[in-house]
Amino acid sequence: MAINRKEFLKSLGGLAALTIIPRRVLGGPGHIAPNDQLTKGIIGMGGIGFSENHFSSNEQCRLVAVCDVDDLHLQKGVSLSKERLGETVKGYHLYRDLINDPNVDVVHIATPPHWHGLMAVEAAKAGKDIWCEKPMTRTIGEGKRVMEAVRQNGRIFRLNTWFRFKDTFYGLGTTVQPLKKLVDSGLLGWPLKVTISGYTGFNWKFFWVGKENLVEQPIPKNLDYDLWLGPAPYKPYNEHRTHQTFRGYWDYDGGGLGDMGQHYIDPVQYILGKDDTSPVKVEVDAPEQHWDAIGTWRKIVYTYADGCQIILQGEQHGDPTAPYIEGPNGKLYQGFRCELNGQPAFNIMDKLAELPDPEPQNTDFIKCIHSREKFALNEINGFRSATIVNMGLCALRLNRTLEFDPVKLQFINDDAANALIDQPMRGPWTF
Amino acid sequence: MKRFFIILALLVMPLVAVNAQDNRNRATSTIVSDALAQMPAETPAVYNQVMAELAATGAEGIEMLAMMLEPMAEGVNNSPVEYAVNGVASYVTKEGAAMRDGVRAGLKAAIAKTTNNPNKAFLMTALQICATGDDAHFFAEYLKDSYMANFAARALASVKGTDHAVEHLMAEQAENGISKVLLAQIASYKSHFHDGEPILIEWLNGATPELKTQIYTALGAWGGEPAAKVLAAAAKEAGYTFDSTNAYGAYIRLLNGHLMRHDEKAVEKAAKQLLKVEKPNVRIAGLDLLAQIKGEAIMPLVLKAIKGDCRDYRYGALRVAEQFATETTYAAVAATLPKASDDAKIDILSWLGANHAEKQVVAIAPFVASANDEIATTAIAAASKIGGDIALKALINRMVKEQNSKAVEEALVAGLLSFNGKINDEFVRVMDTNSSARAIAKQVLSSRRIPAAASKVLVWVDNGGDDTAIPALTTNAVEANFAALCNLFEQGKPMGDAILKAIQEKPASEQAKMIQDRMAKAGAKKHIYYPILAATGAKEAVEPIVTGYKSSTGEAQAAAFEGLCTLNDDSVLPTLLEAAANPALKEKALARFIALTQSSTTLSNDQKYMNYRKAIEAEPSNTLKNRALSALSPTQTYPAMMLAAEYMDAEATAQAAANTVLEIATKHPEFYSAEVKALLEKVAATVNDGDAVYKRKDIENFINDNKAREGVSILTPLSAEEQKEGFELLFDGQNMDAWTGNLEAYQPMNGYMYVTAAYGTTGNLYTKKEYADFVLRFEFCFDRDGVNNGIGIRTPMGVDAAYHGMEIQVLHHDSPIYKNLREYQVHGSVYGIIPAKRIKWGALGEWHQEEIRVKGDRITVTVDGQVIVDGNIRTATKGHNVAPDGSDKNPYTVDKLNHPGLFNKKGHIGLCGHGEGIKYRNIRVKEL
């Protein structure tokens, strides 16, 4: 019977606060006791970093460190840890110090996306397990590197969107489970067309647009702007680039598509059974995009080799009556309204109730860390759904149709598009 | 309008394109400015057209364009130029070399001349998109410029064909003095960069940590044998730990790169070294390399890892084995099960399951019976993933085992529900075996439908009195159970859903008939079927339920009300509103009233607005008020916004109200005014949810974007003069308090009252108050051709004012549709009684002033200062408002009809709409 670490720490009294013993040390080299408590550190104490799901400390996993390049955010992280969680945590300015802190088992990446790839790769090399917020990476190339580093170092990686395994799927009025079951049943036929639009219950958050003509402003004293930018190209500081509004700029994210894309698309990839491949084509219908500030779009269409399509429709565009899923033999609408062979299928849920449920997924991250099984949404399928998002962003930036090779992970005959796959970092940052 | 223009442009484009170069003969500067006027291109087609024209201007045009950038400052707008430059640079990457060369040359010339750093950096970023290897030296020029160096390095790293030039720069570093760090960093993005290798290794002597990082990274990307030696030593020195020099990471990358180049021997040796490191991730990296070289031959190492006590490494090894795994691999792993530790057993079982190692089900199955719960549950999950007879048999055997723990029970339920294959026959056979099997069966059957199980489950509930089986019965009921289910229902068991499930295959009307037949036989219990009848969704269910509700009392009425609240039919909306008058039913009735309105596909947004308004004004709980306030948001109407605004003050409704105001106001710049600005500022001060920061930003942005309109007030207050004279306001642009009647078709919009007949309801708008002698002043505006309206005076409500009171005609009589108009129908006429002088209207959208003076029998109408009617209704009809002979033909009126209300002493003032398209504002009245 392993010692419950909390009890163990309690028995040490005052000393406990000074010494946090990582799990590797406690059970002897390489040994993990099943009841052992994990430790985590959060990088990025902005919006999501304080979400209740993440900013937590409990029996299973204890918060021991926080990191931010904005002193005010960092101070808030440290003081709220004390206030809300009763934890005395270490506060780091440089994320690398958090990753290399031997007291940290799990690195939780809650920064803007332009940092995700680099931090995840470094955490993997440091032998840490990783919880990464969506979108996984802001380029396809960075996603490849995360996949490699996680595999080579045998790490557990969780990408944080969860609709493929729990919760009502936005406006659809159903979880993803029965959708998966319906698609797997073959009742709709094949190939399928999935439409993700305001009309099918998904808001593309077009308020995440950037501003053009930004005038340089003085950098606030509390912000290490150079470190905030990190691998991103240098641009004169303006408040709108950072903190709550960074999503509007190509250098850091991908607008509403970057923000919501993986939430909306990952479950579709799961439903369609495309976790190990990518679309072969992406077409866009959008106004021309600015080089720096992200704009809006009307329609983005992804096509897989077998003819399946994922169609993204911007707000107020497209067919308001389009079903969510459409196949040669049937259609599925919001609220699980279903048509088969042109007739309403009122009893569809009963038909599905006669079929086996989809294979259970590993949805307990902590359990996965102990058992070393892959989490339901990991660096491999997460890379694929992030790639769908990133393919769309590349096509938007170039305003043209792109063809993609899902095995080589490259665009076909388009150097400018491939240059967007591998975007060099601003030094000294490097993989 | 913009969109229309673009469509037009697309239509005529082929003509334009053909003529662009030859006939249009535009100067380069004209092409550039024409292009800028179209930035950003709205569609890909326009984009391609404009960019083709721009690219064709060559170096001259591109330079001219790029030089139009100004140093950024308040008020400077570089956007069009940025769109054009970035657009053309991207565009030419898919075009011929000649076009691309022109753009490159133009950009380079502009970069050389531009002095403002951010603009220069932008242009270099654009050049990077379309640059070729020939531009390497151009970029290199900027590697020593403190601001531009990073941009130049980025371009050299990204642009293909610059490798040789970069190697050259490295070789001559002593002379050119370019930063080694930058050069090494650029090199790290290259591949097969062998001339650079000895240089970088040499630079390691005395290198700063920063330089080391870049060199290691570069060597890791493409280094050969010498690099391998360097990195092996550096990684070892770093203790195979990740540090800022990246030695460990670079080393692993190099080894993987060498494998791609089939340098297997050296890698194998290195990998074996890694296996000795006491860090699981490093050992996994080593094993992964070995697996890539030797495949299945590394199985002894994997088996050793399984036996070891480091779980991290064990599972890592199993994952590594996946890349070569065959049936033999699975068999070898499975063979270790009997002697494995408990932890290892769990890992092996879950791994075999995750990999669907079908043949190993024989090895897995025995562990389903394990006394160790964790092993058993893992084996159950693995067996269900694989499926097949052996797996099913193991699960079924465990299911009938007495006294399974909660964890095992849960695993069995999950396993059976997701079992890869059919479980039905075996399952039904054993489900009744003992209490353990039954407990699991009840859970499985509450979500899985196995029709063959229905009769057994019915027996559990019916004869056995086991109410915990009701969910299973509900999921599985079949038509043959109908009568039995109804009997149970009448005995008081909750069978509603089961009954519906049993007959669901039938058309709704048939279902309703079956239920009604049963109701006829149920005597005093008849009413309990109302909710079920409603849930059939049959049209035929509506009438009996509404009647049932209206004609019954007590328990029966309660059941009918329940049914009423289930009916999904807009026609029950009035009945629900009626029911809301009963305090006991109010809350539920209004909740349903709101929900039904929300889901209605037939009600217009304005009708929905009215319904929500009625619901809110019925004073339900705050929860419902908030629900209605939120539901107002998707109607996106002006009155909805104004209604919500009234509820921002009360704390309990402030949030929902504020969000609705926000959602409507910020999506409709055309509603914006000084008043809406004030509302939005109030919203900003009110919102307090997790997104409040973003919402405040949205509001700030919106207000900034609409500055032009913020000074505009939509309100038209009384002038001091009129106030002195004793006028009072009937409509100030917003407030409808003085009015009653058809508030749906007369809506305050942005400062005026908009009349529309498109709302699906008829009826007029009336002043709440009655007036005898008065002066009415107002402004009006025809929004479309041929609009017909009227001002009712001295009229009762709900009747035709022209006959039961008077109607002063309001008509856009210039429309060609009125060419046969009678004189007593022109604008201003006392309809049918006194014709008005015909005036000529100006353009649509112009506002006109009108005054109607009513004093005794004298009516005076003045439009835009011109008196068009001044007459006496008694004189005009010689006192005969109706035919003296009692017939319906009256020779004394101009229209030869009776006007029984003509001599009313007083009455309401009404707006009598006959169609969409007229606006009123600034309505005021003075009693005489």
- Per-residue DSSP letters for B368-428? HT-SSHHHHHHHHHHHHHH-SHHHHHHHHHHHTSSS--HHHHHHHHHHHHT-SS--HHHHH
CA distance B71 to chain A (A): 10
A125 part of contact set with chain B, CB < 8 Å: yes
Spell out which residues of chain B touch residue A285, defining contact as CB-CB under 8 Å.
43-44
Chain B 33-62, CB below 8 Å of chain A: which residues?
39-44, 47
Q: For residue A130, report the phi and psi dihedrals to the nearest 5 degrees.
A: -135, 135
Q: Look up residue A214 and give its DSSP letter.
A: P
Q: How far is A17 from chain B (nearest CA, A)?
A: 26
**What was the pLDDT predicted at B692?**
81
Contact B795, B771 (CB under 8 A): no
pLDDT value at residue A402:
98
Chain A neighbors of B189, CB-CB under 8 A? 422, 424
- Residue B709 is predicted with a pLDDT of 80
Q: Which of residues 690-729 of B touch A (CB under 8 A)?
A: 693-694, 697-698
Q: Which of residues 303-362 of B touch A (CB under 8 A)?
A: 309-316, 319-320, 343, 346-347, 350, 354
| Min Cα–Cα distance to chain B from A175, Å | 15
Q: What is the CA radius of gyration of chain B?
A: 42
- Whether B73 and chain A come into contact, CB under 8 Å, resolves to yes
pLDDT of residue A240: 94
Judged by a CB distance cut-off of 8 A, whether residue B256 touches chain A is yes
What pLDDT, on the 0 to 100 scale, is given for residue B757? 52
**In terms of Cα–Cα distance, which of B620, B638, B616, B618 is closest to B629?**
B616
- Cβ separation of B319 and A31 shorter than 8 Å? no
Strand order in the sheet with A106-109: A90-92, A61-67, A38-43, A106-109, A129-133, A157-160
Beta strands at A90-92 and A61-67: parallel, antiparallel or unpaired: parallel
> What is the dihedral angle through the alpha carbons of A160, A161, A167, A168, rounded to the nearest 10 degrees?
160
Of all helices (H) and strands (E), which one includes residue B189? none
Q: Measure A416 CA to nearest chain B CA, in Å.
A: 6
How far is residue B593's CA from residue B616's CA, in Å, rounded to a whole number? 11
Spatial neighbors of B390 by CB under 8 A, at least 6 apart, are B361, B362, B365
Who contacts B724 (Cβ-Cβ below 8 Å, separation ≥6)? Answer: none
Identity at B115, one-letter amino acid code? T
Taking an 8 Å cut-off on Cβ atoms, the answer to whether A370 and B418 are in contact is no
User: Average model confidence (pLDDT) for chain A?
Assistant: 90
CA distance A14 to chain B (A): 31
**Which of the four pLDDT bands, split at 50, 70 and 90, describes residue A317?**
low
Amino acid at B799: V
Residues 157 through 196 of chain A touching chain B, CB cutoff 8 Å:
none
- Is the CB of residue A358 less than 8 Å away from at least one CB of chain B? yes
CB A280 within 8 A of CB A406: yes
Helix axes B651-665, B638-645, angle to 10 degrees: 150
Pairing between β-strand A90-92 and β-strand A157-160 as defined by DSSP bridges? unpaired
Give the whole-angstrom CA distance, residue B258 versus residue B567. Answer: 71
Question: What is the predicted pLDDT for the residue at B916?
Answer: 75
pTM listed for this prediction: 0.77
With contact defined as beta carbons under 8 Å apart, do B198 and B168 qualify?
A: no
Strands A61-67 and A309-313: unpaired
pLDDT value at residue A29: 36
Where do we find the tokens 């591998």?
A: A422
Among residues B417, B366, B357, which one has the least CA distance to residue B390?
B366
For residue B684 the two structure tokens come to 């900003």
Compute the nearest-CA separation of A406 from chain B (Å).
Answer: 19
Contacts of B154 in chain A (CB under 8 A): 233, 424, 426
Which of A264, A271, A238 lies closest to A252, judged by CA? A238
Q: Which residues of A278-309 are buried (b: 16+ CB within 10 A; e: fewer)?
A: bbbbbbbbbbbbbbbbbbbbbbbbbbbeeebb
> Is B282 in the A-facing interface, judged by CB distances under 8 Å?
yes
The tokens for A238 are 């303006």
**Distance to chain B for A106, nearest Cα, Å:** 14
Number of H helices, E strands in chain A: 14, 16
The answer to whether the CB of A251 falls within 8 A of the CB of A244 is no
Which chain B residue has its CA at the smallest distance from A237's CA?
B118
Burial B480-490 (b: 16+ CB within 10 A, else e): ebbebbbebbb
* Residues A422, B126: C-beta atoms closer than 8 Å: no
B365 half-sphere exposure, CB direction, 13 A CA radius: 17
C-alpha to C-alpha distance for B474 and B468, rounded to whole angstroms: 11
First CA to last CA distance, chain A: 41
pLDDT at A5 over 70: no
Q: What are the φ and ψ backbone dihedral angles of A207, each rounded to 5 degrees?
A: -70, -10
Maximum CA pair distance of chain A? Answer: 71
Say which residues have a Cβ less than 8 Å from residue A343's Cβ, sequence separation at least 6.
none
Closest chain B residue by Cα to residue A415? B93
Q: Which residues of A touch B157 (CB under 8 A)?
A: 424
Give the pLDDT of residue B4.
39
Three-state DSSP state, B570: helix
Per run of 10 residues, the mean pLDDT along chain B (length 928 residues) is: 39 38 67 91 93 95 96 94 97 92 97 98 98 97 97 97 95 96 96 88 96 96 94 96 94 93 91 95 96 96 95 94 95 96 95 96 97 97 97 97 94 97 95 95 96 94 92 95 96 95 92 96 93 94 93 92 93 94 94 95 88 93 96 92 94 95 91 91 89 83 86 84 92 90 83 66 82 96 86 91 93 86 92 94 91 95 94 93 90 92 94 82 94
| A22/B contact by beta carbon, under 8 A | no
Asked if A154 lies within 8 A of B83 by C-beta distance, the reply is: no
In this prediction, residue A203 carries a pLDDT of 87
Interatomic CA distance for residues B58 and B802, integer angstroms: 74
The pLDDT score that the predictor gives to residue B7 is 40
Determine, for residues A430 and B217 on separate chains, whether the beta-carbon distance falls below 8 Å. yes
Q: Quick check: B217 contacting A, CB < 8 Å? A: yes
**What ipTM goes with this model?**
0.91
Residue in A51, A125, A142, A177 to test binding to B, most B beta-carbons within 10 Å: A125
Q: Check residue B276 and give its pLDDT.
A: 95
Q: Minimal CA–CA distance to B370: which of B379, B361, B358, B357? A: B379
Is B312 within 8 Å of A397 when comparing Cβ atoms? no
Distance of CA B14 to the CA centre of its chain: 37
- Identify the pLDDT of residue B694: 76
Q: What is the CA radius of gyration of chain A?
A: 23
Residues 469-508 of B with CB under 8 A from A: 475, 501, 504-505
Residue B776, beta-bridge partner list: B852, B925
Q: Burial of A211 by CB count in 10 Å (0-12 exposed, 13-18 middle, 19+ buried)? A: middle
Q: What is the 3-state secondary structure (H, E, C) of B591-616?
A: HHHHHHHHHCCCCCHHHHHHHHHHHH
The residue of B158, B281, B701 whose CB has the most chain A CBs within 10 angstroms, and thus the best one to mutate to test that interface, is: B281
Does A100 sit within 8 Å of B243, measured CB to CB?
Answer: yes
Diameter of chain B by CA atoms?
124
How far apart, in whole angstroms, are the C-alpha atoms of residue A326 and residue A320?
Answer: 14
Chain B residues with beta carbon closer than 8 angstroms to that of A214 = 72
Determine the Cα–Cα distance for residues B104 and B127; give it in Å rounded to an integer. 6
Task: Determine if residue B295 is left, alpha or beta; phi over 0 gives left, psi from -120 to 50 gives alpha, anything else beta.
Answer: left
Q: Which of A123, A133, A120, A128 is nearest to A160 (CA)?
A: A133
Contact A279, A193 (CB under 8 A): no
* Per-residue pLDDT, A34: 38
- A12-27 burial code (b ≥16 CB/10 A, e <16): eeeeeeeebbebbebb
A11: contact with B, CB 8 A cutoff? no
pLDDT of residue B746: 86
- Where residue A120 falls among pLDDT bands split at 50, 70, 90? very high
pLDDT at res. B17: 37
- Provide the β-strand partners of residue B781: B847, B919
Between chain A and chain B, the number of residue pairs with CB atoms below 8 A apart is 226
- Enumerate the β-bridge partners of residue A302: A282, A310
Contact criterion met (CB below 8 Å) for B508 and B536:
yes
- Among A391, A226, A411, A225, which residue's Cα sits nearest to residue A302? A391
> What does the DSSP 8-state code read for residue B142?
T
Which residue does chain A place closest to B235, by CA atoms? A125
Q: Give B-chain residues touching A424 at CB under 8 angstroms.
A: 153-154, 157-158, 189
Average of per-residue pLDDT across A2-29: 39
Q: Which member of A32, A127, A422 has the closest CB to residue B311? A: A32
Give residue A26's pLDDT: 40
Sign of dihedral through CA atoms B529, B534, B537, B539? positive
Main-chain phi, psi angles of B14, to 5 degrees: -50, -40
